[in-house]
Amino acid sequence: MEDKLIESIAYILPAIVTGLVAFYMFNGFIKQQNSEKKLTLLADRKKESLPIKLQAYERMLLFCERINPIKILVRVKPISENTNDYLQLLIANIEQEFKHNMVQQIYISDDSWTAVLATKNAIINKLKQVAETSENANKFRENVIIEYSNTLPPTDTAISFIKNEVKKLL
């Protein structure tokens, strides 16, 4: 009886060891296959989303260009001599551009969106500040041009930031 038990163990033990080795090998193979599939899916998803992200960055760069104080003054002429009317027209133009591009925040980084938002607010605040010391709309335009001829507009900083973000994507 004892011999039969030892003989059974002698047959069962190698079968168990072989089964465990096969289990671990197949398990490792399946895990590797799953991770390769995940990487492939991730790469495909990135390929599909990259053009959308690039387009969003392009639109935000264009937004910054359009709200550049010097360029907006050239594009938007005063409707009257009243400084406050012209200021409100400029702010409305900036806000309209912003609303038109607001959805782009989904596709760009939080840091880029913060930079664009800070740029917009800085320009509006500076325009308000310059408007307080201006007598009429034409003087307001001159004062803004003088102000930004001495310093870089905030749009340049945001544009530089956006370009660096795009370089990281590529």
Q: Are 115 and 157 in contact (CB under 8 A)?
A: yes
Task: Specify the pLDDT at position 110.
Answer: 94
Q: Are 60 and 162 in contact (CB under 8 A)?
A: yes
Task: Specify the pLDDT at position 150.
Answer: 85
Judged against a pLDDT cut of 80, whether residue 111 lies above it is answered with: yes
DSSP characters over 96-139: HHHHHHGGGGGTS-HHHHHHHHHHHHHHHHHHHHHHHT-SSHHH
Task: Specify the pLDDT at position 124.
Answer: 97
Note the Cα 169 to chain centre separation in Å.
10
User: Cα–Cα distance between 56 and 78 in angstroms, integer?
Assistant: 31
Task: Specify the pLDDT at position 59.
Answer: 96
Task: Specify the pLDDT at position 8.
Answer: 79
pTM higher than 0.85 for the full model? no
Judged against a pLDDT cut of 80, whether residue 46 lies above it is answered with: no
Task: Specify the pLDDT at position 81.
Answer: 94
Judged against a pLDDT cut of 90, whether residue 45 lies above it is answered with: no
Closest C-alpha among 89, 77, 62 to residue 155: 62
Q: How confident is the model at residue 43 (pLDDT cuts 50, 70, 90)?
A: confident
Q: How confident is the model at residue 129 (pLDDT cuts 50, 70, 90)?
A: very high
